[in-house]
Structure 1
Amino acid sequence: MKVVVMGAGVIGVTTAWYLAKGGAKVVVLDRQPGPGLETSYANAGELSYGMTSPWAAPGVPVKALKWLFMKRRPLFIWPLISPTMWKWGAQMLTNCNDAAYAVNKSRMVRISNYSRDSLPDLIAETGIEYDGRSQGTLQLFRTEKQMKGSKADQEILAQFDSPFQVLDREGCIAAEPALAQVREKFVGGLQLTADRTGDCRLFTMALAEKAAELGVEFHYGQSIEGIAVENGRVAGVDTDKEGRVTGDAYVCALGPYGPRVLNPIGLRLPVYPVKGYSVTLPVTDDAMAPQSTIMDETHKVAITRLGDRIRVAGTAEIAGYSNRLGPHATDTVRYVINDLFPKGGDVEKFEGWTGLRPMTPDGTPVLGGTPYPNLFLNTGHGTLGWTMACGSGRAVADLVLGKEPEISFDGLTLDRYNIRL
């Protein structure tokens, strides 16, 4: 069986790996010169199993309005003349209630927990290195109101068997000793002990090499111009360099760019690009640097230790397919690292980056089959692509190969959007 995978980010590469392990001949197409060079390139580095939640949640609309007026705000919305943007936003608002949140989170956690359990096996089998650590995530609260508000999250974490610890100020310092220098800036935290950290791009590159050893062909520098359909099936993927690439089955793992090839064939996938920013800087003093991941609850910024580097990521900007990295784009993330770990890294030597996250209005990715019997989807993971990569890649690969997936696809497919040809 020959399978064509569209996209060589972390989702496409993990899917290709599991397909090849299952005996398929796999071809991966990507417009970049190598793997993991777009959304996977410089994300937060969090494997956020405990923080797997949809953005669409009760109270978020009110919070979003407040964020828009913060000096160092976590959210920017540019009012574009875009029916797609406004429709997506309206759909997201309909999910900002208790009932929808419970359903959507349960679907997301199903994938996240499966990914959490799958990653150690993959690492043990391949031996790949990716600056990984297993010291959890510390959600840091600057105010007592945030601390009290976390009780609802604690109940949900307990419901979904996600281990955690509630920490006072001294407990936070015990977990992250460098925070002792700024103890007056926070009151406590919530430590998610099952979370891990690691460089998503290093992982993607290393796994691509292992996949190539299994016979996976990576065709880089190939822009996908469209999907060809004949007699109700996908007949091939048209590229600008090789022309039409054919196979027995096809997997779309193009992240935020999936709609550009799916819309023309009648699959109007509600995935919208939400822009995020990060900076990466060298560690200058190990004792003063973070040891794992700290999530600043006020600014929604993650600070992650990746080997001898610190990755600081955050901000959500709704601005269409813009990849512009403006002069002040990283102000918020640079402020947070200076505020919490002022002696840990050299901010003057930062590398700035921006990327587009493929967001669905309900937060849940879109996996599995389509009305075309030989076309499958693995996209829409939002900010959790790295977290869900192994689980969604393994499950989709099983489905493509005709095996019984180990998790249910109920509520994960296109069917929940009533998309029909």
Structure 2
Amino acid sequence: MRILVLGAGVVGTTSAWYLRAAGHEVTVVDRQPAPGLETSFANGGQISVSHAEPWANPHVLPRLLKWLGRRDAPLLWHWRPDARQWLWGLRFLRECLPGRTEANIAAIVGLALYSRQQLQQLRSDLGLEYDHLQRGILHIYTDRDELAAAMTAARVMARHGLDREIVDVQTCLAIEPALAGAAHLLVGGDYTPSDESGDAHLFTRALAERAAAAGVVFRYATEIERIASRGNRVAGVVVGDSQGPALLTADAYVLALGSYSPLLARPLGIGLPICPAKGYSATLTLADTAAAPSVSITDDERKLVFSRLGNRLRIAGTAEFAGYDLGLDAVRCQALIDRTRQLFPRLEITGEPTYWCGLRPATPSNLPCIGRSRLDNLWLNTGHGTLGWTMACGSAAALADLVGGRRPAPEFPFLRG
């Protein structure tokens, strides 16, 4: 089939690769001049199956009350007169029920484990280099209640095949000696040795080059204006570039535009439960690597991750619900640096931090939307929230199976095939 993929982020690019590998003729369209320049550009860098506990869980409600009114809160909600935002919030509260949270964890772990395997195979087959490290992910805790909640989630994940083990403070320091200066803050942690880290942008760029060499056509600097439908099928996609407007047609279409997916789906009568959640990052250039972490770290209390990317340290996380605003809040940027200094007081950097923000496509359950939409030839691969980099390869491989009429390997509630 001729397939048109909308979006050249990590999810769209991996979709294009696996669809091409399945024998399809693939074209990718993106408004940016190169791949991976939006939400995939400067994210946390973790391949984190251990981050499978969704934001919506029974323990988050008291935290939300604690965070109200704080500009530097891990989760900041800007109320707007938007019925869709309020409906998303109500759905989020429903997903906090214990039974729903456990079911969501099971589905996320299943897809994420499969995705990590696919990534490892792809890296081996293609020799991809993207500052990746296979040293696991260490979750640290500075609050005993947070640690207790994490133990509950870790037990659920263990039942579904994830090697997430609870560790004491001394073991945390043995795993990552760079935390020695913050030993007095820690109460414990958990460690997933099979998790990884790496630069999602470098990966996306490298894979796009390989995909182009394999025959995938990339149309960059092309604005996607709308999806045209006829009956229960997509008739084409209206785009605009330096040559003017055009109608691109194919046999099938894949919507992989992250937070922008609902804007194109809504006129087609497809309501995607996706809300943009702005995440922040700071990238530091290391003057001396000795005091910097080499194991990727998740600070669950502050909802931050720390990933070593070559001679850089990436600090990323938090969620700000402010619509499609991409402005950088200086208070939230400074909070990243302040926490970094608390945990790594001996860290030495050169130059100034590089700040960035991107819109993560968050669903209330944290489950992405993967599979066929209500239109027969429109497929979805979107809504991955904080786990787009973690789930990208598995989501794309599963989508290629669905398009080809095959049952995907992971146990996951895919949309109708």
TM-score (norm 2): 0.96
Structure 2 counterpart of 1:283, one-letter code: L
Structure 2 counterpart of 1:397, one-letter code: A
Query: For residues 226 and 416 of structure 2, what CA distance do their matches in structure 1 show?
Result: 20
Query: For residues 146 and 170 of structure 1, what CA distance do their matches in structure 2 show?
Result: 18
What SS does the aligned partner of 2:376 have?
Answer: coil
Query: For residues 302 and 411 of structure 2, what CA distance do their matches in structure 1 show?
Result: 35
Is the Cα contact below 8 Å between 1:276 and 1:356 reproduced in 2?
A: yes
Matched, 1:262 2:268: no
Matched, 1:377 2:375: no
Task: Compute the displacement of 1:110 (Å).
Answer: 1.9
> Quick check: 206-215 or 167-176, which moved more?
167-176
| Residues 146-295 of structure 1 aligned to structure 2 (within 5 Å) | 146-241=146-241, 242-295=245-298
> Quick check: 7-16 or 392-401, which moved more?
392-401
> Quick check: 33-42 or 156-165, which moved more?
156-165
Where in structure 1 are there 5+ consecutive unaligned residues?
A: 416-421
Query: For residues 71 and 86 of structure 2, what CA distance do their matches in structure 1 show?
Result: 25
Task: Compute the displacement of 1:373 (Å).
Answer: 1.2
Task: Compute the displacement of 1:414 (Å).
Answer: 7.4
Query: For residues 81 and 282 of structure 1, what CA distance do their matches in structure 2 show?
Result: 41
Q: CA-to-partner distance for each residue in 1:252-298, whole Å, 9 max, x for gaps? A: 00000001110001101111101110000111221200112111122
Query: For residues 116 and 131 of structure 2, what CA distance do their matches in structure 1 show?
Result: 17
What SS does the aligned partner of 1:178 have?
Answer: helix
Give the equivalent residue in structure 2 for 1:418: none
Task: Compute the displacement of 1:379 (Å).
Answer: 0.3
Number of residue pairs aligned between Structure 1 and Structure 2: 414
* Distance change in 2, residues 1:94/1:143 (3 Å): closer
Query: For residues 150 and 252 of structure 1, what CA distance do their matches in structure 2 show?
Result: 34
Where in structure 2 are there 5+ consecutive unaligned residues?
A: none
* Distance change in 2, residues 1:91/1:414 (3 Å): farther
Task: Compute the displacement of 1:230 (Å).
Answer: 1.5
Give the equivalent residue in structure 2 for 1:74: 74
* Distance change in 2, residues 1:269/1:291 (3 Å): same
What SS does the aligned partner of 2:50 have?
Answer: coil
Give the equivalent residue in structure 2 for 1:318: 321
What SS does the aligned partner of 1:57 have?
Answer: coil
Give me the identity figure in percent: 42
Matched, 1:305 2:312: no
Task: Compute the displacement of 1:70 (Å).
Answer: 5.5
Q: CA-to-partner distance for each residue in 1:14-34, whole Å, 9 max, x for gaps? A: 000001111111000000111
Query: For residues 69 and 151 of structure 1, what CA distance do their matches in structure 2 show?
Result: 29
* Distance change in 2, residues 1:146/1:94 (3 Å): closer
Task: Compute the displacement of 1:52 (Å).
Answer: 1.2
Give the equivalent residue in structure 1 for 2:414: 412
The correspondence for 1:367, drawn from 367, 370, 373, is 370
What SS does the aligned partner of 2:35 have?
Answer: coil
Query: For residues 347 and 287 of structure 1, what CA distance do their matches in structure 2 show?
Result: 14
Task: Compute the displacement of 1:81 (Å).
Answer: 1.4
Matched, 1:388 2:355: no
Is the Cα contact below 8 Å between 1:50 and 1:194 reproduced in 2?
A: no
Task: Compute the displacement of 1:408 (Å).
Answer: 4.6
Task: Compute the displacement of 1:347 (Å).
Answer: 7.2
What SS does the aligned partner of 1:346 have?
Answer: strand
Task: Compute the displacement of 1:182 (Å).
Answer: 2.3
Is the Cα contact below 8 Å between 1:364 and 1:412 reproduced in 2?
A: no
Task: Compute the displacement of 1:413 (Å).
Answer: 2.1
Task: Compute the displacement of 1:147 (Å).
Answer: 3.0
Query: For residues 6 and 71 of structure 1, what CA distance do their matches in structure 2 show?
Result: 34
Give the equivalent residue in structure 2 for 1:344: 347
Structure 2 counterpart of 1:181, one-letter code: G
Query: For residues 341 and 190 of structure 2, what CA distance do their matches in structure 1 show?
Result: 22
Matched, 1:402 2:409: no
Task: Compute the displacement of 1:340 (Å).
Answer: 1.0
What SS does the aligned partner of 1:170 have?
Answer: helix
Query: For residues 263 and 320 of structure 2, what CA distance do their matches in structure 1 show?
Result: 20
Is the Cα contact below 8 Å between 1:8 and 1:28 reproduced in 2?
A: yes
> Quick check: 46-55 or 384-393, which moved more?
46-55
* Distance change in 2, residues 1:345/1:389 (3 Å): farther
Q: CA-to-partner distance for each residue in 1:316-352, whole Å, 9 max, x for gaps? A: 1011010011332312111111111133242751100
> Quick check: 54-63 or 21-30, which moved more?
54-63
> Quick check: 262-271 or 104-113, which moved more?
104-113
What SS does the aligned partner of 2:184 have?
Answer: helix
